[in-house]
Amino acid sequence: MRSSSPPLDARSPGIWMPIFAGLCASLVSIGLARFAYTPLIPALIQAQWFSTHDVVYLGAANLVGYLIGALLGRPLARRLSNKNALRLMMLAVTVAFFACAFPVSVSWYFGWRLLSGIAGGAIMVLVAATVLPHVPVARRGLASGAIFLGIGLGIAGSGTIVPPLLSLGLQATWLGLGALSLLLTGLSWFGWPADLAHVAANGTDSAPAEPTPPGVYLLFAQYAFMAAGLVPAMVFLVDYVARGLGAGAHVGALIWIMYGLGAIVGPVSYGFLADHLGARKGIRLVLVVQAITLGLLALSHSFIALALLALILGSFPPGIVPLALARVHELVPQHHRQQVAWSRATVSFASFQALAGFAYSALFNASGGQHAVLFLIAGGAIVVALLLEPAMRLLPSARERRCCAN
């Protein structure tokens, strides 16, 4: 039997437990499972667990898993319910952390990194659809920012927790991350709300189907290019500073902490933008800033400049999620159709992210480790996403002209 309770008042203490559970899920599955790998790249290479080539491609394994998880999330939830699927995925990430403490082989590592990515993709599809219906509409931008704040906390946590853990060894680092993941899974276990009653068991709304607004498809395209634009800094920033600029692992860790601080600020501030400026204008503003920042990153070498740019770049991966989700809610009013649209947006994002992960990895190896080239290409992807926005105004008018012609 599914709950049919209305959204809780924003001042109600009961509203915070689902939000906290969502924060824990995004922290474990994306913040730690994906981003804790970035500061580990130099250590994995130096400890000779794997070759440079293998370490880079193992990072892309998580991105491929994310795509698979985005496709499997809703079917899994239909079988298990949203909250049970979310619990299972958090457990899967935890097991993957513990398994990565043992470098059995490249295929072993690839499989566990793939599983952690699958869990992350499924959680990204399900977490907002599980929590936000219980939040008042006027507060959903801020609430989604709070949920995806977990990604930022994971990024910042990886920059502060991983270096001291590394002093104990790589195996201890993976075991420590597994222990933290297990703790957060336990803390969130009973915080998940029940699924809403108005979503039927067959996964359809009772409301009649309506044509999908053209803006939704354009958002999918924008979101895909955003994914391609965020990968290089997300994967290669620490290696760029530590090895590319020769600043060492310590300075690389400091820059990653700044990236993490930006990731903490990003979700809530971008969610605030969605609530007060509107998602469409918010996306436009953020894309302009990110494109400029990526261009400057390819040219900057001073610590202060790199720290500032890392702060801005760090806000983007977790921050764009509540903005894109808010845009889906603007374009699609029906609750279930919002879930379908968000799932497809996540698949679009994950597809380009996975393709970009392998493409950037191949380019990095082929170019002999030229980080700046990757950042410039990423900036170009963001510019493409920005240039797609004017088409959002032209496409509906083109449809109207065709209708009039008929």
Mean of pLDDT values over 161-174? 88
Q: At a CB cut-off of 8 Å and minimum separation 6, what does 75 contact?
A: none
Both tokens assigned to 294: 């990526």
Nearest to 271 by CA among 151, 159, 118, 385: 151
Measured CA to CA, the distance from residue 27 to residue 149 in angstroms comes to 8
Measured CA to CA, the distance from residue 165 to residue 204 in angstroms comes to 47
Identify the pLDDT of residue 3: 43
Burial (CB < 10 A; 0-12, 13-18, 19+), residue 220, is buried
Q: Answer with the residue of higher pLDDT: 119 or 326.
A: 119
Question: Where along the chain do its domains lie?
Answer: 15-196+212-399
H or E, element range at 156: helix 140-166
Q: Cα angle vertex 223, ends 212, 308, to 5°?
A: 150
Quick: pLDDT tens for 287-331.
999 999 999 998 888 889 999 999 999 998 888 888 888 888 888
| Rg, Å, the chain Cα set | 20
Asked whether residue 99 carries a pLDDT value surpassing 80, the answer given is yes
pTM of the model: 0.75
Quick: pLDDT tens for 47-63.
888 887 888 778 778 88
Of 95-99, 100-104, 332-336, the range with the highest mean pLDDT is 95-99
SS3 content of the chain, % helix, strand, coil (to 5): 80, 0, 20
Query: Could you write out the DSSP letters of every residue in 339-389?
Result: HHHHHHHHHHHHHHHHHHHHHHHHHHHHTTS-HHHHHHHHHHHHHHHHHTT
Q: What are phi and psi of 142, to 5 degrees?
A: -65, -40
pLDDT band at 394 (very low <50, low <70, confident <90, very high): low
Both tokens assigned to 40: 């580990």
**Alpha helices of 204-334 — where are they, by DSSP H?**
214-239, 249-276, 279-297, 303-314, 316-331
Instruction: Assign domain 15-196+212-399 to its CATH superfamily.
Output: MFS general substrate transporter like domains (1.20.1250.20)
> Do 348 and 223 touch, CB atoms closer than 8 A?
yes
Q: What are phi and psi of 312, to 5 degrees?
A: -70, -45
Q: What are phi and psi of 43, to 5 degrees?
A: -70, -40
Both tokens assigned to 206: 């009772």
H or E, element range at 84: helix 82-99
Asked whether residue 405 carries a pLDDT value surpassing 60, the answer given is no
Quick: pLDDT tens for 201-258.
444 444 445 667 778 888 889 999 999 998 888 888 888 888 888 888 788 878 888 8
Measured CA to CA, the distance from residue 198 to residue 333 in angstroms comes to 14
Identify the pLDDT of residue 188: 92
Taking all residues of the chain, what is their mean pLDDT, rounded to a whole number?
Answer: 82
Q: Which amino acid is at 119?
A: A
Both tokens assigned to 312: 């801005």
Quick: pLDDT tens for 73-93.
889 988 888 889 999 999 999
Assign 277 to helix, strand or coil. coil
Q: Answer with the residue of higher pLDDT: 99 or 45.
A: 99
User: Residue 330 CA to chain centroid, in angstroms?
Assistant: 21
